[in-house]
Amino acid sequence: MTAAAVVTGIGVVAPNGLGADDYWDATTRGRGGLRAITRFDASAYPIRVAGEIPGFAATEHLPSRLIPQTDRMTQLALVAAEQALADSGVDPAAQPEFAVGAVTASSSGGTEFGQNELTKLMVRGGNHVSAYHSFAWFYAANTGQISIRHGLRGPSGVIVADEAGGLDALAQARRNIRRGGAVMVTGGVDASVWPWGLVSQSAHGLTSGADDVDRAYLPFDARAGGYVPGEGGALLVVEPADAARARGARVYGELAGYAATFDPKPGTGREPGLRRAIELALADAALTPGDVDVVFADAAADLELDGREAAAINAVFGPRGVPVTAPKTMTGRLQCGAAPLDVAAALLAIRDGLIPPTTNVSPESRYELDLVVAQARPARVGAALVLARGHRGFNSAMVVRAVA
Amino acid sequence: MEQQEFTLADLARILLDAAGAVEGAAFDEGIVDAELEQLGYDSLAILETGSRIEREYGITLDDGVLVDARTPRAVIEVVNAHLAARAA
């Protein structure tokens, strides 16, 4: 018998809301956080609109000692982790020493910290580079700093698989719980709205060069012209269902099913791996397509990639067979933070019986999707499917469901 | 060359920039003999602080010299010894 892994705490740092309540309020009202980039002069860059978290001042949230040694992604992650633990009511200090762990995903590492220190190295010399550069830009910095701050000494790690990694991290946390870990802090927070982080993404050719924030990111729309990057994500507290029940915790839902697949080599003509990921995740959750009440799409906003995603969804659920949404139109794609934030949204949709909308989009009819657009749709949500794709072939799917 | 003096206030200022402030304690005469590690400054904090002192004062501190100087008083003495040696 394997323990069911349930979510008991949610922490959110998103362009349209700091904290789960603010994020969910904005998201269900269709209030987006995309804006012309303000943190640096982006006028000469191929990306000028992004999902920035406005007015975030790390010094208002974190001890002074942590500021010089952390990239913005870690500062945001520490805020999300603190929120999630507080929301769950779990006190790591009251748990056995090795019972609480952290698994996060990362896509870029600390691009702002890294760029700034490499600039010092090249302009002013090696003795001007911060000693904290030795770890602050690492993929594992978020997991490490969360663990140190909260005294987490249980099973820990970091997963790097572009956006799909956000679900892979949650799945790894679920494995750790099944192996007997008590509590996991898990999810992903990235922050690459900084020149190095943005040019790294624009090099794929999949980002939006638009200047109009309402037209910049239009997945499943005939006008789709690439995605808008954003910063932020979500961290969750996950624990065994029986332990959560025993301590009377509020349970948002269960991480019920998961699968990851990889696409065939380009040019082979073979089907991409997303449909198989969906089917395997449903099988893992012991659910049928008819049990799923909403799909949170990956939403690349690229004509070819949108078509592939719609084909995978329709192959499993049938044309217009299930409500589909992409609230990331309000945040941009948050790299590894995107899917954990979608999982948080799915859990809140279960709680409130409300599917958040895909904003700004006029659905392209040839995709044959029941896309929830314009405004939130009331619906009983017992189970939700979250999809995430990473650049160059990663596919992950996760099913979350209500716990009776 | 006139000898500069490196004071507790200088150390407090540089340490604050390099590694942030100690929670709940003023960095003043009261902690001059406290262990930096006990104050919350680990070896990387000391390394970064040493690097900034070197840049600002134009001196070179041998590897490990600040790690061996475990208290604010010891750090100040080491830096002043280097400044005196340079002025001589």
Please name the residue of chain B whose CA is at the shortest distance from the CA of residue A124: B55
Question: Tens digit of pLDDT for each residue in B19-40?
Answer: 998 877 788 888 999 999 999 8
Q: Collect all residues of chain A within an 8 Å Cβ-Cβ radius of residue B44.
A: 69, 131-132, 134
The larger pLDDT score, comparing residue A335 to residue B3, is at A335
> Domain containing B67: what range?
8-87
- The answer on pLDDT for A193 being more than 80 is yes
In a domain, residue A73? The reply is: yes
Q: Which two tokens stand for residue A229?
A: 């990057």
Examine the domain organization and report whether A145 and A37 are in the same domain.
yes
The whole-number average pLDDT for the span A125-133 is: 94
Is B55 within 8 Å of A134 when comparing Cβ atoms? no
Let me know if residue A339 belongs to a domain. Answer: yes
Which candidate, A6, A343, A294, places its Cα nearest to that of A167?
A343
Distance from CA of A76 to the nearest CA of B (A): 18
| Least confident among A319-323, A374-378, B23-27 | B23-27
* Count of domains for chain B: 1
Whether A200 maps to a domain, the answer reads yes
Q: B62 versus A147: which is more confidently predicted? A: A147
A34-43, B27-36, B71-80: range with lowest mean pLDDT = B27-36
Q: Which residue of A has its CA nearest to B49?
A: A131
HSE-CB at A113 with a 13 A cutoff on CA atoms is 25
Rounded to a whole number, what is the distance in Å from the CA of B31 to chain A's nearest CA?
Answer: 17
Q: Which residue of A has its CA nearest to B44?
A: A131
- Same domain? A262 vs A339: yes
- Cβ A326 vs Cβ A358: under 8 Å: yes
CB contact under 8 A, B55 and A128: yes
Does A252 fall in a domain? no
* Prediction ipTM score: 0.89
Which chain A residues contact residue B54 at CB under 8 A?
127
Task: Domain of residue A365: give its range.
Answer: 257-401
A273, A301: one domain: yes
Tell whether A328 and A354 lie within a shared domain.
Answer: yes
Indicate whether A129 and A17 sit together in one domain. yes
Structural domain count of chain A: 2
Determine the average pLDDT of the residues in A305-317: 98
CATH code where residue B14 lies: 1.10.1200.10
> Do A100 and A121 fall into the same domain?
yes
- The pLDDT score that the predictor gives to residue B2 is 64
Q: The tokens 């003023």 sit on which residue?
A: B26
Torsion A150-A104-A15-A22 (CA) sign: negative
The dihedral region occupied by B64, where left means phi > 0, alpha psi between -120 and 50, and beta the remainder, is: left
B47: closest CA of chain A, how far (Å): 7
**What pLDDT is recorded for position A1?**
47
Within a domain: residue B47? yes
What is the CATH number for A232? 3.40.47.10
Q: Which residue on chain B is closest to A65 by alpha carbon?
A: B20
Q: Please report where in the chains the tokens 């006028």 appear, as a residue.
A: A43
Residues A94 and A55 both lie in one domain: yes
Which pLDDT does position A158 carry in this prediction? 97
| Same domain for A362 and A310 | yes
Helix, coil or strand: residue B26? coil
Contacts with B48 from chain A: Cβ below 8 Å: 68, 130-132
**Average pLDDT in the A36-61 region?**
96
The yes-or-no verdict on residue A181 having pLDDT over 80 is no
Q: Residue B1's pLDDT is what? A: 55
pLDDT at position A298 is 98
Indicate the residue among A246, A269, A284 that finishes a domain.
Answer: A246
Q: Rg of chain B's alpha carbons, rounded to an integer?
A: 12
Q: How near does any CA of chain B get to the CA of A337, in Å?
A: 28
Q: Is B76 part of a structural domain of the chain?
A: yes
Place A367 in a pLDDT band, splitting at 50, 70 and 90. very high
Domain-located, residue B1 = no
| Average confidence (pLDDT) over A166-186 | 95
